[in-house]
């Protein structure tokens, strides 16, 4: 209850600007040469979330008159009729209800080979001493967060690290022999009788995260040892943490290749995205979207008239997710049977719907 209360208080504080409607703006999130426009309506301090959903490389303030154009998609915090309810962030969760070997079978083949070959060289060592926790926060957690997110980095406080690591969570140091290469901060989240082990933060010293080749193995191993510990200690799922709620987001795909399924149950901030009727296939081709209805998570894809089935198969082959209720293909032409079979194979438990063909 305390955890949920803290999460709610954090969200309310972060989203306080949503109530100041007089400070909202209209901003274009897409390039001028696209056959559609995505316009965001909302406060400036939340615009970055919408920009990340549409991978916007540039943002331009425009007049509200632009909303009337027929090729415009609208993304807003206000509920819009007929719109998709798109979560701005998702957690990627690995179910632990199968043997370890079966779960590892869902990993990317190269990752699986590396883990099997190198796992015996690494260990995790739990740290609870206050001085050691602060040293790891300063030397690993904070530098890595700033290296990843720059000025937007949200660093974890000394009080938070100690509360988690000395309470119902833990902080483990990744060791290769006697060398400290990284750390992992995690905690327990209970949902009824269902136990999640949540990977909250990873940290690495600068010498590690600046060596791309070495960092790839160390980061994968740090995550795997946390997953292995959660499985051995009776947890029902390993939550790999939050990421941008965009199917093609690099971090989300990294977690998918480690067995993660998208979970929107944490998401308290959503955008209503109203698609343009005429060019929705083009928009969703460039920007596939997750959406939620109740507790059901779906994915929307596009098939423009000038794209072949072969191009679509290549375009969407990495959007392979467990846990989806449905996949919607908005098609500007009739898709072939092989493409539909391939799309059904992406998410075998999900219903496939084709719109507009």
How does DSSP assign 189-246, residue by residue?
A: EEETTEEEEEEEEEE--HHHHT-HHHHHHHHHHHHHHHHHHHHHTT-SEEEEEEEES-
> Greater confidence, 64 or 54?
54
In this predicted structure, the answer to whether residue 164 has a pLDDT above a threshold of 80 is yes
pLDDT at 152 over 90: no
Q: Which of 279, 252, 287 is nearest to 53 (CA)?
A: 287
- The reported pLDDT for the residue numbered 266 is 77
Identify which has the larger pLDDT, 70 or 351.
Answer: 351
Q: What is the mean pLDDT of residues 310-331?
A: 95
DSSP 8-state assignment for residue 12: H
The sheet with strand 326-331 has its strands ordered as 289-293, 296-303, 326-331, 351-355
In this prediction, residues 194-209 reach a mean pLDDT of: 94
pLDDT at 65: 66
- The more confident residue out of 33 and 175 is 175
* pLDDT range class, residue 70, cuts 50, 70, 90: confident
Q: Is the pLDDT of residue 22 over 60?
A: no
Q: Is the pLDDT of residue 10 over 70?
A: no
105 contacts 208 by C-beta, under 8 angstroms: no
- What pLDDT is recorded for position 131? 97
What pLDDT, in 10s, does the model give residues 86-120?
999 999 999 999 998 888 888 888 899 999 999 99
**Does the pLDDT of residue 20 top 60, yes or no?**
no
Please tell me the predicted confidence (pLDDT) of residue 25: 84
pLDDT at 281: 95
Instruction: Delineate the domains of the chain, giving CATH numbers in brackets.
Output: 17-76 (no CATH), 97-244 (3.40.630.30)
Rounded mean pLDDT, 282-289 = 96
State the pLDDT at residue 66. 66
Q: Which residue has the tokens 């507009």?
A: 356
Q: What is the mean pLDDT of residues 216-222?
A: 95
- Residue 12, pLDDT > 60, answer no
The pLDDT score that the predictor gives to residue 256 is 92
Task: Give 203-206's long-range contacts (Cβ < 8 A, gap of 24+).
Answer: 203/136, 203/137, 203/139, 203/140, 203/141, 203/142, 203/143, 203/144, 203/145, 204/140, 204/143, 204/144, 205/139, 205/140, 205/143, 205/180, 205/181, 206/143, 206/147
186 sits in which H/E element: strand 179-191
Give yes or no for residue 3 having a pLDDT over 80.
no
CA distances from 30 to 55, 172, 245, 278, 321 (A): 9, 42, 18, 17, 26
- Residue 142 binned pLDDT confidence (cut-offs 50, 70, 90): very high
Confidence at 198, pLDDT banded by 50, 70, 90: very high
Q: What is the pLDDT of residue 199?
A: 94
Candidates 66, 25, 31; CA nearest to 47 is: 25
pLDDT recorded at residue 6: 57
pLDDT band at 71 (very low <50, low <70, confident <90, very high): confident
**What is the band of 275 on the pLDDT scale with cuts at 50, 70, 90?**
very high
Write down the pTM of the prediction.
Answer: 0.85
The span from the CA of 321 to the CA of 350, in Å, is 9
**Quick one: tokens of 186?**
């995690």
pLDDT the model gives residue 24: 82
- Residues 349 and 327: their CA atoms lie apart, in Å, by 10
Q: At what angle do helices 337-346 and 309-316 cross, to 10 degrees?
A: 10
Question: pLDDT band at residue 32, thresholds of 50, 70 and 90?
Answer: low
What's the rounded mean pLDDT across residues 188-194?
85
Q: Is the pLDDT of residue 60 over 90?
A: no
| Burial of residue 81 (number of CB atoms within 10 Å: 0-12, 13-18, 19+) | exposed
With tokens 């902080």, the residue in question is 171
Q: What is the mean pLDDT of residues 114-128?
A: 95
Q: What pLDDT shows up at residue 325?
A: 95
Please provide the average confidence, as pLDDT, over all residues in the chain.
89
Cα separation, 220 vs 85, in Å, equals 33
Torsion of CA 246, 147, 266, 78, to 10 degrees: -60
């Amino acid at each position: 209850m305390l955890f949920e209360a803290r999460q709610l208080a954090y969200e309310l504080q972060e989203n306080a600007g949503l109530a100041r409607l007089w400070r909202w703006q209209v901003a274009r999130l897409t390039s001028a040469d696209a056959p559609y426009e995505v316009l965001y309506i909302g406060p400036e301090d939340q615009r970055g979330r919408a920009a990340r959903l549409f991978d916007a490389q540039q943002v331009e303030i425009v007049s509200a008159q632009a909303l009337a154009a027929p090729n415009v998609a609208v993304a807003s915090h206000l509920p819009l009729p007929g719109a998709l309810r798109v979560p701005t962030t998702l957690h990627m969760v690995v179910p632990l209800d199968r043997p370890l070997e079966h779960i590892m079978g869902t990993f990317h083949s190269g990752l699986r080979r590396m883990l099997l070959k190198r796992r015996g060289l690494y260990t995790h060592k739990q740290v609870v001493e206050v001085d050691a926790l602060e040293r790891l926060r300063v030397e690993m957690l904070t530098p890595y967060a700033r290296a990843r997110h720059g000025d937007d980095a949200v660093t974890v406080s000394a009080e938070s690290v100690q509360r988690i690591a000395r309470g119902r969570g833990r902080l483990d140091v990744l060791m290769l022999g006697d060398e400290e290469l990284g750390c992992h901060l995690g905690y327990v989240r209970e949902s009824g009788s269902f136990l999640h082990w949540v990977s909250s933060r990873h940290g690495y010293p600068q010498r590690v995260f600046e060596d791309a080749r070495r960092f790839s193995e160390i980061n994968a191993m740090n995550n795997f040892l946390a997953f292995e510990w959660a499985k051995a200690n009776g947890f029902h799922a390993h939550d790999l943490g939050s990421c941008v709620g965009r199917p093609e987001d690099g971090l989300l795909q990294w977690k998918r290749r480690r067995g993660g399924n998208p979970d929107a149950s944490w998401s308290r901030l959503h955008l209503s995205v109203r698609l343009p009727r005429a060019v929705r296939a083009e928009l969703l081709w460039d920007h596939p979207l997750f959406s939620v209805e109740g507790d059901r998570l779906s994915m929307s894809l596009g098939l423009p008239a000038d794209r072949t089935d072969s191009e679509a198969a290549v375009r969407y082959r990495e959007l392979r997710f467990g846990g989806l209720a449905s996949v919607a293909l908005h098609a500007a032409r009739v898709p072939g049977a092989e493409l539909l079979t391939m799309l059904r194979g992406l998410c075998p438990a999900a219903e496939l719907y084709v719109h507009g063909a």
